[in-house]
């Protein structure tokens, strides 16, 4: 009996070591929500603007000809002030220009490489939730 328990523990440890690790790039947490659940509210100020601050405002500042994503300007630019506004479509979030640009494999934004998956999904969720200035 002791040998069987040792064997089972050994197999569990080996399984975790083999299947519980990954050599792929960490793209953030994978969150699976039940169908029809919009999850907790995504805040523009606390969740979306920090993504812009970190990854977008190096180019999308007051000198950019189409879209200024700096704090205090981004929300208005996305909805009414930017050259291609509105950049969000709350009725068809996946077709929103903002979401299309941050997930484009051929022309990603930022140009240095697309956002991480969890960041793009946060932007999508914000649009699905009505793209509120919260």
pLDDT in tens, 104-123: 988 889 988 779 999 999 99
- pLDDT of 93: 97
pLDDT greater than 90 at residue 133? yes
**86 and 78 in contact (C-beta within 8 Å)?**
yes
CA distances from 23 to 19, 20, 27, 55 (A): 11, 10, 12, 25
pTM above 0.75, yes or no: no
- pLDDT of 13: 61
> pLDDT class for 34, splitting at 50, 70, 90?
very low
CA–CA distance, 1 with 85 (Å, rounded to integer): 69
Buried b (16+ CB within 10 A) or exposed e, 52-73: beebbbeebeeebeebbbbeeb
**125 and 42 in contact (C-beta within 8 Å)?**
yes
């Amino acid at each position: 009996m002791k040998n069987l328990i040792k064997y089972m523990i050994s197999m569990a440890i080996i399984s975790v070591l083999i299947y519980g690790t990954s050599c792929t790039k960490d793209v953030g947490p994978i969150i699976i929500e039940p169908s029809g659940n919009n999850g907790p509210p995504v805040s523009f100020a606390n969740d979306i603007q920090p993504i812009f601050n970190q990854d977008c405002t190096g180019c999308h500042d007051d000198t950019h000809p189409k879209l200024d994503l700096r704090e205090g300007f981004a929300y208005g630019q996305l909805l009414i002030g930017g050259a291609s506004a509105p950049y969000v479509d709350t009725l068809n979030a996946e077709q929103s220009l903002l979401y299309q640009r941050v997930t484009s494999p051929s022309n990603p934004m930022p140009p240095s490489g697309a956002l991480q998956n969890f960041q793009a999904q946060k932007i999508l969720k914000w649009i699905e939730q009505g793209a509120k200035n919260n």
